Amino acid sequence: MTESGPSTSPKVHSYHDHGDTCLQASDGTLFYADSWRLGKASDTFHDMLHLPRSAPAKRPRLPSPPIPIQTDTPPSTLDTFLNLINVSSPSVSFPSLSYAETKDLLLLCERYSVKPYITLAVEQRLWDLTSAGIRCTTWDVLIWAGQRNDIRMGKESLKRMNAQNFISPRQENGTYVGQEKFWKRFGELPDSWQLALVKSGILGEAFPNVKVKGSTVACLLVTTDWKKVADKFKPVALGVREEPA
């Protein structure tokens, strides 16, 4: 007869350790939360937990202890999410919340159909980071949107673009990098998005007689009307005929 080793219980978060619902992070950490808070914040959690549409006289009885809901979400993201929904007016203003963490939080909001007023607060954090231009740029968000074929977010990224950021997508050591970096970033977009960008009017009139280092070269002016570019930006899958406007 062999003796089994001592069983190890999952780690419980030091703060989120009370509630009638249990969420499990990707590393196994357990987070406890109130079902009514989750239901108010998320349509998916509302339906998953079988909560009534109107406030009941008594809270519904759930399994005790509750069965953990696997979220496949990093513990730091789950912690931020639960902190976010525990207030009446969510605001994502955490200075330490990185670009990667903000994306993870936004993906969690989308996965669980979190209410728009919360999701938009998270998305605003994304735009705040691009405004700083250090942790991420509008190009970073545009490429991420392209990877997910999120046309709405792509349009929002283009509205926040300008000629300098478009041609020099990133700063390195405080200075803008040049043309090689631009083509690398442009190539990270899906083919259909590249074509849609060109067709949306990113290039203006030509200047055939520009002097560069003593040589005469032809140049194209980059647009300054990025709202117009965003409005006209309509990616269509390659091989699919675009409907006439």
User: What residue spans in the chain does CATH classification 3.30.710.10 cover?
Assistant: 9-136
Residue 3's pLDDT band, with cuts at 50, 70 and 90, is low
Distance CA 48, CA 111 (A): 13
Distance CA 46, CA 124 (A): 25
What's the whole-model pTM score? 0.77
CA 94 to chain centre: 16
pLDDT tens digits, one per residue of 184-233? 889 999 999 999 999 998 877 666 666 667 777 677 788 889 999 999 99
pLDDT tens digits, one per residue of 87-142? 877 776 656 788 899 999 999 999 999 999 899 989 988 898 888 766 688 999 99
Residue 145's pLDDT band, with cuts at 50, 70 and 90, is very high
Domain 9-136 matching CATH 3.30.710.10: the answer reads yes
CA 21 to chain centre: 26
The pLDDT value given to residue 165: 83
Residue 244's CB is within 10 A of a number of other CB atoms, namely 4
pLDDT tens digits, one per residue of 27-64? 999 999 999 999 999 999 999 887 665 555 455 555 56
Q: Return the minimum-mean-pLDDT range out of 17-26, 171-180, 186-195.
A: 171-180
Q: Does 160 score more than 70 pLDDT? A: yes
Distance CA 197, CA 115 (A): 31
CA 191 to chain centre: 21
Nearest to 123 by CA among 108, 134, 143: 108
